Structure 1
Amino acid sequence: MIGSALKLLRDELSNYVFQNKRPTDAITEDDIILHNIALMDGETHGDLNNKIIITLVNTEEESTLKNNSNTIRTLNGTRYVEPPVFLNLYILISTTLGQDLQDAYEFALHRLSLVIQFFQAKKSFTVKNSPFTTVSGDITISQEEKDELRLNVELYTLTFEQINHLWGSLGGKQVPFAMYKVRLVKIQENTEEDAPVIETIERIENMINADCDE
């Protein structure tokens, strides 16, 4: 589900950036990618130049939805199902520099502006309201999972101390970026356990009635 959620956001963002880029900007839709920005200074860093990179940096359980019931009433009795986990995802969107471009930093800043514009204009995402996502036609993703993809995206502001810690832990030099909090991603294992119909109360009630008759 996490991968599907981020893929949906990436596809929609890719189309927006490509449609609104500067005429002199050679960025393509394939240059908006899901990748680990921490690898920017590694051996494959050349593949991450001149890109918009979406990186998952943290996950958080939504505590307000933690105490949902784990029982479902059916015609045959009660079914026990572990309640789903609802996650908030913290994603870092970085605009990396093109090594051969004279105005690389300016291009990176413009792309970051497009990212912020996109999420300012559209904050809620589903498969139905995201016509450019490849998730809708992905046969490896169940229809139920597609229907449950309901994401709300908000800009998340870091303090200077948090920024230093973040980029220090990523082990790379800071590039133009924005952090977003994505609510809510539902995670649930498709296992459930049948439980017998509760008959104890009925038996006790019958015993009480029998005593009263005597």
Structure 2
Amino acid sequence: MGWGGHAAVIGDALTLLKNQLDSHLLALSPESAGAGTEAKVVFPDGDQKTDSASFKTGAITVLLYRIEQETALRQGDAYVRLSPQGVAQRVQPDISLNLYVLFVSKFKDYAQALQYLSQVVRFFQGNKVFNHQNTPGLDAGIAELALDFVSLTTQQENELWGLLRTGYLPSVVYKVRTLTFQDQDAAPPGAPVGELIRRGLT
């Protein structure tokens, strides 16, 4: 299924992070980077039959568990945007989102799980920002993705793993900033009142 326009899509952002991290981990083991090599970074199976989260053994699983609205980036007039031609347009306000992403390391060998988790931290330590200059594959609708390490308290960890309904596994959390969704159905500045009412802009 295709998606029109260049709207920033959550799936595009997480897929890019997953693929970038996977390429990094595979590059650390050149002997396993041939054709048909199984990915080291995956998404959860979307067809799980139980209420509890299930994580693939032998891989890092990327799981989105929280979305928050970023309010600090609001414009002076949230209902006005300039088109590429410099024409003022009436729009619904932008919605900027931060994503909280869990990286879970599950391997039969516990020491190996910790080694891979360390590589996740090292990778994002050296790659805190993904933009169009350093990441050509970044979607055109995303200006950049910036990652912040999140230190959860013991209570927050208990609540998170309780929500997932499974036992704790070696893992880290990153806050991904910021995806901005823009109104793709802009109205001209002189749009009839009825049109503005229909779109909730009065």
Report the TM-score when normalising by structure 2: 0.75
Contact 1:8/1:130, CA 8 A, preserved across alignment? no
Deviation for aligned residue 1:96:
1.1
Residue 178 of structure 1 is aligned with which of 157, 166, 172? 172
Separation (CA, whole Å) in 2 of partners of 1:94 and 1:80 = 43
Q: Name 1:210's counterpart in structure 2.
A: none
The structure-2 alpha-carbon separation of the partners of 1:77 and 1:154, relative to structure 1 and needing over 3 Å to count, comes to closer
Residue 23 of structure 2 is aligned with which of 15, 39, 60? 15
Q: Name 2:152's counterpart in structure 1.
A: 158
Percent identical among aligned pairs is 28
Specify the SS of the correspondent of 1:83. Answer: coil
Q: Name 2:99's counterpart in structure 1.
A: 89
The structure-2 alpha-carbon separation of the partners of 1:40 and 1:164, relative to structure 1 and needing over 3 Å to count, comes to farther
Q: Name 2:111's counterpart in structure 1.
A: 106
The structure-2 alpha-carbon separation of the partners of 1:63 and 1:105, relative to structure 1 and needing over 3 Å to count, comes to same
Residue 192 of structure 1 is aligned with which of 182, 186, 190? 186
Question: 1:34 is aligned with what amino acid?
Answer: F
Deviation for aligned residue 1:127:
4.3
Separation (CA, whole Å) in 2 of partners of 1:44 and 1:65 = 34
Separation (CA, whole Å) in 2 of partners of 1:52 and 1:128 = 27
Report the TM-score when normalising by structure 1: 0.71
Separation (CA, whole Å) in 2 of partners of 1:76 and 1:108 = 52
Q: Structure 1 or 2: larger helix share?
A: 1
Q: Which runs of 4+ in 1 moved over 6 A?
A: 40-44, 74-77
Question: 1:118 is aligned with what amino acid?
Answer: F
Aligned-residue Cα RMSD (Å) equals 3.1
Gaps of 5+ in 2: 1-8, 192-202
Q: Name 1:208's counterpart in structure 2.
A: none
Separation (CA, whole Å) in 1 of partners of 2:17 and 2:25 = 12
Q: For residues 127-146 of structure 1, what are the structure 2 equivalents within 5 Å? A: 127-130=132-135, 135=137, 144-145=140-141
Separation (CA, whole Å) in 2 of partners of 1:44 and 1:155 = 22
Q: Name 1:35's counterpart in structure 2.
A: 44
Instruction: Compare CA radii of gyration and give the structure with the larger one.
Output: 1
